[in-house]
């Protein structure tokens, strides 16, 4: 089976940086995705990593180490609107994604 772990909750101050870690043990690996999900809404795509290293997209960056089964999502210059759940997902074949339970980030003023 697939095992994807991420912290349940994190709290940070507006303007700060938060790093959300994700570790995975899957039968195969064909890419790792991060999604943002605001309460009551559908997940929206943030980032994709398939090779080791850092991918940067504005205030958000995502890192992958395949040998360690590890990824993180880095949120810089936090804004109140960044309060949401962040989902780590691993694709182990051509189609299917396995999701972690999500990390709820609360940004405080």
Partner 1 sequence: SQTIHQWPATLVQPVGSPLSLECTVEGTSNPNLYWYRQAAGRGLQLLFYSVGIGQISSEVPQNLSASRPQDRQFILSSKKLLLSDSGFYLCAWSTVPGQGADTQYFGPGTRLTVL
Contact residues toward partner 1 (CB under 8 A) are 31, 33, 35, 40-45, 48, 50, 87, 89, 91, 94-102
- Nearest distance in Å: CB 98, partner 1: 8
CB-wise, 1 or 109, nearer to partner 1?
Answer: 1
Question: What is the longest distance spanned by two Cα atoms in the chain?
Answer: 42
- Nearest distance in Å: CB 94, partner 1: 4
DSSP category for residue 69: T
- Nearest distance in Å: CB 81, partner 1: 19
Report the Cα 68 to chain-centroid distance in Å: 16
- Nearest distance in Å: CB 23, partner 1: 15
CB-wise, 73 or 89, nearer to partner 1?
Answer: 89
Number of Cβ within a 10 Å radius of residue 107: 20
56 - beta bridge partners?
61
CB-wise, 28 or 45, nearer to partner 1?
Answer: 45
CB-wise, 5 or 14, nearer to partner 1?
Answer: 5
CB contact burial 54-75 (16+ within 10 A = b; e otherwise)? eeeeeebbbbbeeeebebbbbb
């Amino acid at each position: 089976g697939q095992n994807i772990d991420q912290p349940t909750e994190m709290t940070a101050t507006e303007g700060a940086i938060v790093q959300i870690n994700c570790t995975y043990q899957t039968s195969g690996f064909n890419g790792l995705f991060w999604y943002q999900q605001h309460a009551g809404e559908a997940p929206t795509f943030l980032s994709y990593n398939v090779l080791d290293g850092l991918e940067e997209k504005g205030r958000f960056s995502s890192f992958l180490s395949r040998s360690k089964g590890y990824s993180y999502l880095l949120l810089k210059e936090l804004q109140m609107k960044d309060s949401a759940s962040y989902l780590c997902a691993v694709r182990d074949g051509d189609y299917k994604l396995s999701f972690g339970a999500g990390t709820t980030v609360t940004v405080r003023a």
